[in-house]
Amino acid sequence: MMAYRSNDMGVVFRADASVRLGMGHIRRCLELASQLSARGVPVIFVCTEGPGNMIDQIVARGVAAAPLYTEAEGPPELGAHGWEQDAQRTSAAIAATAFAAHWLVVDQYGLDARWERAMRTHACHIMAIDDLADRPHDCDVLLDQNLTNPRHARYAQLLPRGTRQLLGPQHALVGPEFLQRRAAVLARRRGQVERMLISMGGTDLSNDTGRALEGVARSRYAGLPLDVVIGAANPHRDALASRCAHLAECELHVQTTRMAELMARADLAITGAGSTTWERCALGLPALAVVQSEDQSAIAQAVADAGGHELLGRAADVQAGDYACALERMTPAMLLDMSAAAAALCDGRGAERVASVLMNWSDG
């Protein structure tokens, strides 16, 4: 048996961000990439171009990125032949960089075991990041960072025998800045709301941010300091900027790199139930959460059952009045209980743990 040294290995990430897909896949992969880079492991992203891509942000983090194809050409769809074209282009992108891929990490809902088998000749090992459990994989490691839920049982029928499963938020790919702030932030939680945060994902096509803003305005928290986070690709950006500019204590943050700081200083969040859930939990930030896409439903319900947030339902069904009513129901005891429950779900060390699994992998 031989454990691979950092200078023996490189890691390729195949993940996308776009107006349609959102930014969660790239964001969580970047946290793992940063952990590996800090340990001397070379990494590169292979990504789709097009509106809402995060290639500039990847490069700004000091990570190489190779463009794959434009959003108009893809991404691939299960059941079609898009995976074959994607495999060919990914192979060509890796070959063009002369990058030695010891691990290939794939975080793309449109790719499955067929793509992974095709890529076996280009990488020694494959890790798939999934949270849907709706398709087969041919991978050595499967990462599903979501809280235990009924979907996890389906992996028994979807994975090869011997695949190592990393399940649960103890493996959540959270940035180190959240861990660094965790102890101090948890110590100051008092069940009082003096500042709020609205964060509805990077794209927010349905303008859930706008309805949440209106809900706050109708509640007893109107006028409190408020941070609003949106992505650069948000189609309602101009209208939201105008609205926030007319609120005395409201600050709009576009494509921010200060999420840990903003969560740390907030006492209550209104948020989508996506991958930022684990960042929020690491800091014990209570929240009113909405489900913005079907892939969030299982995690949203599991976290609600554990007491880590109050789940208001599908975002499309939640109106400004619903946000206002939920805010009016909040009590100090509820906020403290929610904070403790959230903090117990995720300690912020998941990216460290996953990086160690990859670096200490043994063959034979």
Instruction: Decide whether 2-174+348-363 matches 176-345 in CATH topology.
Output: yes
Least trusted range by pLDDT, from 79-83, 240-244, 302-306? 79-83
| Domain parsing of the chain, residue ranges | 2-174+348-363, 176-345
Nearest to 131 by CA among 34, 54, 22: 22
> Which pLDDT score, from 0 to 100, does residue 2 have?
32
* pLDDT of the residue at 3: 37
Instruction: Summarize pLDDT for 202-218 with one digit per residue, the tens.
Output: 789 899 999 999 999 99
User: Where does the pLDDT of residue 159 fall: very low under 50, low under 70, confident under 90, or very high at 90 and above?
Assistant: very high
What pLDDT is attached to residue 73? 58
pLDDT of residue 1 exceeding 60, the answer is no
Range of lowest pLDDT (87-101, 161-175, 280-294): 87-101
**Side chain identity at 303, as an amino acid letter?**
V
Q: What pLDDT sits at residue 82?
A: 82
Please give the pLDDT value at position 243.
Answer: 96
pLDDT at residue 79 above 50?
A: no
- The Cβ-side half-sphere exposure at 262, using a 13 Å CA radius, reads 25
The CATH code for residues 176-345 is 3.40.50.2000
Model confidence at 133: pLDDT above 60: yes
- Using the predicted structure, report yes or no on whether residue 75 has a pLDDT greater than 70: no
Report DSSP state, residue 147. Answer: P
- pLDDT, the chain, mean: 91
Q: Determine which of 29-38, 62-71, 163-172, 272-281 has the lowest per-residue pLDDT on average.
A: 62-71
**What pLDDT is stored for residue 56 in this prediction?**
85
Residue 7 has pLDDT above 70, yes or no: no
Rounded mean pLDDT of 6-33? 83
For the segment 60-82, the average pLDDT, to the nearest whole number, is 68
Q: What number is the average pLDDT over the span 44-49?
A: 90
d(CA 9, CA 359): 8
| Segment 212-253, tens digit of pLDDT | 999 999 999 999 999 999 988 899 999 999 999 999 899 999
Q: What backbone torsions phi and psi does residue 190 show, to the nearest 5 degrees?
A: -130, 5
DSSP for 112-134?
-HHHHHHGGGG-SEEEEE-SS--
CB-based contacts of 188, cutoff 8 Å, min separation 6: none
Q: For 183-197, how does the pLDDT look when each residue is reduced to its tens digit (9 = 90+)?
A: 999 999 999 999 999
Dist CA 364 CA 358 (whole Å): 15
- Fold classification of 2-174+348-363 is Rossmann fold (3.40.50)
Output the pLDDT for position 4.
35
Average pLDDT over residues 20-43: 90
CA 130-118-133 angle, 5° bins: 20
